[in-house]
Amino acid sequence: MQAIELFRVIRYVITDHCTNLTRWRYYPHSESGEHTVRFLAWAMRPRRTRKKTRSAARRCY
């Protein structure tokens, strides 16, 4: 059983429903508070944005 635990991987997934952006990351071994905090900090930090370009396809609400 312990040998299997060494190969286990935990996936964290978060989705921004306003932009429909899904982000995920994998962490080794088992779920822990440290992995959860690291993932949330990574997922919520500001991102570099690309220049917005005009495109023919636009969302209409």
Distance between CA 60 and CA 17 in Å, rounded? 16
16 located within any domain: yes
Averaged pLDDT, groups of 10, the chain, 61 residues long? 76 89 88 90 80 52 47
Task: Give every CB contact of residue 6 below 8 A, 6+ residues apart in sequence.
Answer: 29
61 located within any domain: no
Model-level pTM?
A: 0.61
12 located within any domain: yes
Among 8, 49, 4, 45, CA closest to 30: 8
Range of the domain at 25: 2-44
